[in-house]
Chain A
Amino acid sequence: MSAVRKDQSRFVAGIAQIGALGMFLVQILRAIPASLRHIAETARQIWFVGAMSLVIIMTCGLFVGMVLGLQLYYVLSIFGGTAALGTVVSLSLYRELGPVVTALLFAGRAGTSITAEIGLMRATDQLDAMEMMAVDPLAFVVAPRFIAGIIAMPILACVFNAMGIFGAHLVGVSWLGLDNGTFWSNMTSSVDVWKDVINGLYKSLVFGGVCTLVATFQGYTTAPTSEGVAYATTRTVVFSSIMTLAIDFVMTAFLM
């Protein structure tokens, strides 16, 4: 009986969290006009969540592309279709792997630091101090990070895609001997800018909003203790990852 009740209360708490997240999104959207006054802070956050994430995004993109190149070359060679390597790699990256893996990496690198930073601001009364100085923390702290995430994520996904294709080219052309012209010409002839590239960027925009929404929400509502901040950062990674993958499925279904 108690186990059932516990499950019920967890379910209700989960629904309440989703509702609170939705309300938080509305509050952020309302605060965005006021946050435009803090354009320098937004630029600083773009640098922080975007530029500072470049190393991990480029490194992971390179290795993902290299692995894709190896695996697909092996599979395609069974059917004598290695010429399609560039096409398959680029479509995989543009449509799915680029936006999704970038979002997962973003949640782990930038999302956790956003949560920890805002959580510590909560724990040390900095957010209350802003309120007392008649400065809306949603406009000064949260909205700039939200905007920065939405701007940075598509750019990071583009970098990830570029590095991935470079990695696949390294393996397929430079290492395994695929013809360079075949690699590029098949890719450019079969990749559609609107259907493949732009749809991938739409996904990145949404994932950027989701990941920073979760990160800022977890930081803003954290219990003001060191343990609370630790739990909040963990929840950021878990919820961002789950939401990214779930939304990816829904968006893929609609954008196909």
Chain B
Amino acid sequence: MKCRVCTGPAVIDVRRHNANFCAEHFIAHCQEQVRRTIDHFSMMKPDDKVLVAVSGGKDSLALWDILSELGYQADGLYLGLGIGEYSNESTHYSRDFAERVEGHLVEIDLPTDVGFDIPTGARLARRAPCSACGLSKRHLFNQAALEGGYDVVCTGHNLDDEAAVLLGNVLRWNVDYLGRQHPVLEARPGFARKVKPLVRLAEREMAAYCVLRGIDYQVEECPMSAGNRHIGYKEALDAIEAGSPGTKAAFFHEFLDKASHLFTPESDAIRDELLECATCGSPTTGEVCAFCRLIERASNKGTSGSVAIEMGQTRS
């Protein structure tokens, strides 16, 4: 196979683009895809203060790398989940990468700073681990962005992530979630602006990008995610993609172009009804927000207001 740009030996074939790339031009391709995505969706301005949600995995580290290469001033935010050796390794990869890009890595440790780890907290709260983890990430990333004065939070959700979520929402016709599924979630009172610059790049491309850029990342799957529904959706979509390259991209991006707007009013109505959490002040549909209820149940103790986050830790 030959690189479609320079005709040199290719290192990767991307079937949905019917294209092969050498290392140099694949890296350029990924960076260009992100640049175009940011422009197309007006995700952020060159001088924005950017916070990248970092997990130590391929997507978030690749995103931080690409944003740095594109000239954005981005800090990282890492959330320690307390999942044994998996979390220890994820911390290591995140800190190493922060050093590499001489970036500022803000760290929150769930067991130390909030009072529970994901395995124990999920069990005590009787939630699926992935549910407790996702809820914690959304709440703490949002809180850190607001308190840190960031203009935008960037997450490493890629094309596969978004296609899998879309499939799950369609299968169950979760119309409020469909209305909210967009690469840009605008800032609202109590909510930081959130964007997903990797939605044009597949999971396989992000792994390849990291290998070619020499970025070490957490390759092992989270031990808590066995049997996770979204992974099943990804496998189903990959099976379709293997026989019909481009289906995943068409599924998600055609949804954005042709159907997303149909569900927005339903989602807006829910947003208009939000109240302030009696404990932490975050927007919520009930008296106490889901994260504060999780803290209360997961740590077997009452909530004591907003979680204080140490924003000053720099690992560089």
Is chain B a partner of chain A in the same complex? no
